[in-house]
Structure 1
Amino acid sequence: MQNGYDVIVIGGGPAGSTASGLLAKWGRRVLVLEKEKFPRYHIGESLVPGCVPVLQELGAIDLIESAGATKKFGLSLLWGDEPTPWSVDFDEICPHPYAYEVKRAEFDNLLLTHSRRLGATVIEEASVRELLFEGERCVGVRYSVGRSDDVVEVTAPYVIDASGQTKLLARHLDVVEWHEDLKNLATWTYFQGGTRYEGRQAGNILVENRPPGWLWMIPFSDGTCSVGFVAPTTEYAATGLTPPEVLRQRIAESTEVQRLLGDAVEVAAPRTTKDWSYTASRMTAPGVLTTGDAAAFIDPLFSTGVMLAMKGASTAARTVNALLDAPERDEELRTAYEKSYRDFLEVVISFVRFFYDPSKKVVEYFERARALVDPAEALAAREDFIVLISGLYDMAPVMQSAVDAPVPASA
């Protein structure tokens, strides 16, 4: 292995593919180390418009469109004091009128392949065993490929940790902080058949409150849909049922999800995951930045996972690109990166916690969104709600890089 790389990216999911693709597009020599063989299964299938500017920057919008992803024009909810479902449309305020519902195996594979086409070197089934340090500075990684016991060391001026739930840097520094009040368990499966909303709402994700948790329903273009239940781990334990039994019980008790499923057939084995929400109290060290799930993951209530990963990775790529040209700005730019990331996360976490109270009037959710992202009241409160849940609130000084976007190497 030649050590002639500018950047090593750990992980080939949406965060890793975004960071590596952008850096390669800007002429940097990038190595991506992905522990799995793509395509691989992943949950987190509902995207929000905050992903769209990053997809455009990558030059990947046409790829998503041609892959047949379901267009998602808004969000439908059975939540708050309204007895019937209510919806918001992204194009009430967002410059791009829709996002997408995607099968993550297909979506993630498309992004990783696109990163290769942009010039990144991608090694799959490459398990990073540890970060390499010289003093306090990260200088590379040690990894192995497949089932081999052979260990490879590779160095580079900068490393981007997009290792997802593995959280390599955060675990190395012992800085993972769990959000105990958002310690939930999710169980989900897939159905074929049923009905959909009509017109533009046909691709909407449905979120239905089922205290003390909530159900989601995500429609796909092939006639299947993802249906899941999220609740505190204690709620599952109190029932005496298995997680799949709890899921089916909550579906049977639901109003809107049950109606839409109708005579749909369950076509997959249920899956479960737990311990969702955490934030790393440090997101950088000399020579290394974390992004995506390696830095933080927030409760999936508003489908923010992929958006946070891609926006964070775009900012990380800009930061590292600038550091390669001006290493003397290391502390300044790493500090700016971490502050922007943390400010953005605090807005998301604060609103998720507020929204988890399902007894409020719908207008109260709108007004809380305004207080968080638009205290000057430049927009209507409903518009502020859409801006917030769409991940497009860059009108506030959050999640913005301290440097401008570079010019592509081919320009």
Structure 2
Amino acid sequence: MPPKPNLNQYDVVVLGAGFAGSLQAMILAKQGMRVSIIDRDEHPRFAIGESSTPAADFMLEHLVERYQLDELRPLTRFGSWRESKPELACGCKRGFSYFWQGDEDGFKASGDHRNELLVSASESRAVADTQWYRADVDRYFLDVARTSGVSTWVNTVVDSIAHVADHHWQLSLTSDHRSETLQTSFIVDATGGNRLLLRKLQVKDATETLLTHSSATFSHFDNVRSLSEWLDQRGAKQSDYPFVAEDSAVHHLFADGWMWNLGFENGRTSVGFVFDESQNTHSQPRARQHDLNAVIAERPVLRELLGDARLASFPGRVLQTDRLQRLASVAAGSDWAALPFTAGFIDPLHSTGIAHSISGVQRLSQILLAESGASRHSLLQMYSDALRSELRLIDKLVWGCYVGLRDFRLFTAWSMIYFALATTFEHDFDAFSGKDPSMGFLAADQPRVTQCVSSLTSKLSSLIQQDALKTDHEIDAFIAEIRQSIAPLNRVGLFTPPIPNMYHRTAAK
């Protein structure tokens, strides 16, 4: 008789039970692998990274079809989510909206929408993207992973990780005051900022090479005032808007940072303020110096915007961060890999987190299920290099927008680079049905893209050093250069909407 298998022997161990780690685990388990998830906490829990995008929906839908993840199918559109899974809180996201609060009294409406920008990604609420209430969503993903055959260890401390030999890991755990030992051939680090495996492997940190430098303070609130009502009082011409303002990832822009506002159908609103740290001479991040309540108290327009909002019972506190950015020098080896959110993070400005995580899961799944030996090692190296290139690309896209906080015209123009790349990636992914595991997120694998963004970044950096963006003429000239540079990537009429700054349809169908 063959020997009995070790009950604690796995093909893959996933560290971290957020939605991405659970998604990775369930895909591998549904394809016959023995998979385990380990997490030091349990659900429900508070998490930031709540705004989906068309790319996230396309990729999740592709994974649902390819790996028969029927339990996740409703989550690919707002309409089907609300109809089939109303117990999972979410919000409607028709696109992105930006309101420039740079005037003395905050946002000032005008007929030409010079202080607002709305970019639509869907034509109705039924097919809209979603804001993810992560306490519900992450718990649901883990529940689906369990029913897919994944062994789960929650409230479990990883005491040690030993790399015994190539494709032979041994993990010592403490769970419910009991000690356990797990063995596995492969580890996926999905622990995000905790970077459990990366720290064990002493992977060098490369954060200081990034351009963006920001910190944040945030929480969830109840009874937040209607944004449409506030805009009406400010005289905004909302009849020109491509969607109801609340049905979006709302950004209120200031010279020193920006506030997000994401509404959920359960009445809660995610509110956070992100500080630009580039001019901070203090040793402590500004988010540590001023929590969200202090930021609101100091800015009359925020008090006006939020009205009688009160802190929600969950999480029941305001959170403050150090520097948001992080970047690992390597994201995979021959028998391990980090998901994108663990390999690095830039900033919440462009809502790239959910989509980038799903993109990483999609590519890593193809590698682990299709390849072994030397070919797998080579593809994992490509995966590692790709993640780092994508994070560096996102860094440039975000950094330029922070520079643009000095003038809304500059912010709007630089954000068009992101929308050009996002729509290029969406169209290409749709055309290839996600079959290419080397397809870079936001088209970061295309030389014309990286060269274009790098060239514009260098030019903007040079203009800043020369202090050469002080006049309307200088700003207009640079905006014209951006427009010309991204023309080959501009598939959706960026820079030329029929109504200024109002984009009614951009995403791939």
In the superposition, the TM-score normalised over structure 2's length comes to 0.67
**Are 1:111 and 2:157 an aligned pair?**
no
Asked if structure 1 preserves the Cα contact closer than 8 Å seen for 2:212 and 2:395, the reply is no
Residue in structure 2 matched with residue 91 of structure 1 by the alignment: 122
Residue 31 (structure 2) pairs with residue 26 (structure 1): yes
Deviation at 1:16, TM superposition (A): 0.7
Any conservation in 2 of the 1:101–1:218 contact (CA below 8 Å)? yes
The change in CA–CA distance for 1:196 and 1:382 in structure 2 (over 3 A counts) is same
CA distance in 1, matches of 2:392, 2:48: 23
2:39–2:154 CA contact under 8 A, matched in 1: yes
Give the residue type in structure 1 aligned to 2:119.
Answer: V
2:397 aligns to what? 351
> Does the 8 Å contact 1:319/1:337 carry over to 2?
no
Residue 22 of structure 1 and its aligned partner are, at CA, apart by 1.1
Is 1:128 paired with 2:158? yes
Does 2:290 correspond to 1:261?
A: no
Change (3 A) 1:42 1:367: closer
Matched ranges for 1:270-281 at <5 A: 270-281=318-329
Task: Check conservation: 2:38, 2:156, Cα contact below 8 A.
Answer: yes
* 2:269 is aligned with 1:225: yes
Q: Any idea what the Cα deviations from partners look like across 1:165-208, whole Å, max 9, x if unmatched?
A: 22133222332221464343211133322114485432212111
The answer for the alignment partner of 2:296 in structure 1 is 251
Q: Which residue of 2 aligns with 1:143?
A: 172
CA distance in structure 2 between the partners assigned to 1:102 and 1:368 by the alignment: 22
Q: Structure 1 residues 257 and 83, CA, compared in 2 at 3 Å: closer, same or farther? A: farther
Deviations 1:287-326 (A, max 9, x none): 1111132211121212222222222122212211123xx3
Q: Which runs of 5+ in 2 are unaligned?
A: 1-5, 76-80, 103-112, 230-242, 421-451, 454-484, 497-506
- Structure 1: which 5+ runs fail to align? 385-391, 394-411
* Equivalences for residues 8-407 of structure 1 within 5 A: 8-56=13-61, 57=64, 58-59=69-70, 60-62=72-74, 64-65=81-82, 66=85, 67-79=88-100, 83-91=114-122, 97-135=127-165, 137-146=166-175, 148=177, 150=179, 152-171=180-199, 172-179=201-208, 181-193=211-223, 194-197=225-228, 200-232=244-276, 235=280, 243=288, 245-252=290-297, 257-267=302-312, 268-323=316-371, 326-357=372-403, 358=405, 359=407, 360=410, 362-367=412-417, 370=420, 371-372=452-453, 376-377=488-489, 379-380=491-492, 382=494
Residue number in structure 1 paired with 2:236: none
Q: Cα–Cα, structure 1 residues 110 and 361, in superposed 2: closer, same or farther, change >3 Å? A: closer
Alpha-carbon contact 1:139-1:159 (below 8 Å) kept: no
For the 8 Å contact 1:283–1:289, the answer to whether it is kept is yes
Deviations 1:140-182 (A, max 9, x none): 24132335262x3322222211122221332223322214643
8 Å contact 2:214–2:323 — kept in the other structure?
yes
How far did residue 76 of structure 1 move?
0.8
Larger Cα Rg: Structure 1 or Structure 2? Answer: 2
Distance 1:211 1:238 in 2: 21
CA distance in 1, matches of 2:190, 2:285: 37
Distance change >3 Å, CA 164–CA 68, structure 1 → 2:
closer
TM-superposed CA distance for 1:25, in Å, is 2.0
Alpha-carbon offset, residue 12 of structure 1 = 1.0
Q: What is the DSSP-based 3-state SS (H/G/I as helix, E as strand, rest coil) of the residue aligned with 1:114?
A: helix
Tell me the amino acid that sits aligned with residue 365 of structure 1.
S
Identity rate, percent? 23
CA distance in 2, matches of 1:133, 1:311: 28
Could you tell me how far apart the structure 2 residues matched to 1:157 and 1:183 are? 37
Instruction: Tell me: higher relative CO, structure 1 or 2? Use CA pairs within 8 A at least 6 residues apart.
Output: 1
SS in 2 for 1:144: strand
- Whether the 8 Å CA contact 1:75–1:88 is kept in 2: the answer is yes
Structure 1 counterpart of 2:500:
none
Whether the 8 Å CA contact 1:80–1:361 is kept in 2: the answer is: no
Note if contact 1:9-1:33 (Cα within 8 Å) is conserved in structure 2: yes
